[in-house]
Structure 1
Amino acid sequence: MADVAGTTLEAVDIMGLMKLLPHRYPFLMIDRIIDIDGDNSAIGVKNVTINEPHFLGHFPDQPVMPGVLIVEAMAQTAGAICIRAAGASKPSLVYFLTIDGAKFRKPVVPGDQLMIHVRKLRKRGNLLKFACEGLVDGQKVAEAEIQAMMVEND
């Protein structure tokens, strides 16, 4: 897929994500990332399934994906594209610093496919800020601005 300027947008599958991120089941919150434009923007994909452990207690009779895990999926999407853009010569970790303006508009439930749109707002040194939106079937279900810090992984 290419944008108007002719830049090729890229994707990362689950195996690629596991090379980029330190997270593993049950805390890896994204299944793949599509439409990656460097560290400028991307779309993370989370296939929400009933067999995820948080649904045992949130809530057994009416399962809802916890908002904090939606925000974590946003942070993991942003972090993965930051690390990927840094390249193999700079092994890095991304630490989550702030969450601003988080809003949850509609429950995310098993069977949904959560599309996590992240867009870089600014980068100053090793600090990055992203605008994030979660969509299900084209409807906004969540939004937040997150800030992260990249550090070298020693």
Structure 2
Amino acid sequence: MILNAVEIGRLTGRSEPLNLLDRVLEKDSNALVALTNVTINEEFFQGHFPGNPVMPGVLIIEALAQGCEILLADSQSTLKLSQIKKARFREMVKPGDQLTIKVKRKLEDEFVFKTEAYIQNKLACSAELAFS
């Protein structure tokens, strides 16, 4: 199932500028692969950091959470992010990067997800996200 940014916004309830996912490439009931295009025009680059623009980690986590929310949209419950565990930031995300967001439901708990963000094939961020 491929979704564009408008369809993603409808599923997550987010609008610009907080709709961080640009496209969903693959989706089934337990996993999702999506893309986020990071451009120099993003407002957060004005202050984070002048002369060395870096995407804030909280926004990378937000993009991962939005991927989880798309998977949760199939369930009839309204769930919100409740815990961020084991978050690790390994690469700086810069303007011009394209993040590949990978989300996988942990089988032992349907509301806990293993999430990863890649720049090309390099792991930029990973976290376990729980919803309640």
Alignment partner for residue 25 of structure 1, among 16, 22, 38?
A: 16
> Structure 1 regions of 5+ residues with no counterpart?
1-9, 150-154
Q: Given that residues 5 and 19 in structure 2 are in contact (C-alpha distance below 8 angstroms), is that contact kept between their aligned partners in structure 1?
A: no
C-alpha distance in structure 2 between counterparts of 1:28 and 1:47, whole Å: 11
Alignment partner for residue 41 of structure 2, among 32, 43, 51?
A: 51
The letter of the residue matching 1:144 is: A
C-alpha distance in structure 2 between counterparts of 1:37 and 1:128, whole Å: 15
Identity among equivalent positions (%) equals: 35
* 2:50 matched residue in structure 1: 60
C-alpha distance in structure 2 between counterparts of 1:81 and 1:32, whole Å: 14
Deviation readout 1:128-153 (Å, 9 max, x if unpaired)? 0000011011110110000012xxxx
- TM-score (norm. length: structure 1): 0.81
1:131 aligns with 2:102: no
C-alpha distance in structure 2 between counterparts of 1:18 and 1:99, whole Å: 22
1:143 aligns with 2:123: no
- TM-score (norm. length: structure 2): 0.93
C-alpha distance in structure 2 between counterparts of 1:94 and 1:27, whole Å: 18
C-alpha distance in structure 2 between counterparts of 1:18 and 1:82, whole Å: 14
Q: Go from structure 1 to structure 2 and tell me whether the alpha carbon gap of 1:123 and 1:79 turns closer, same or farther (over 3 Å shift).
A: farther
Alignment partner for residue 25 of structure 2, among 34, 52, 57?
A: 34
Structure whose CA Rg is larger:
1
Instruction: Write out the 4+ residue segments of structure 1 that deviate beyond 2 Å after TM superposition.
Output: none
Alignment partner for residue 7 of structure 2, among 5, 12, 16?
A: 16
> Structure 2 regions of 5+ residues with no counterpart?
none
Name the SS of the counterpart of 1:94 in structure 2: coil
The letter of the residue matching 1:16 is: E
Q: How many residues align?
A: 132
* 1:3 matched residue in structure 2: none
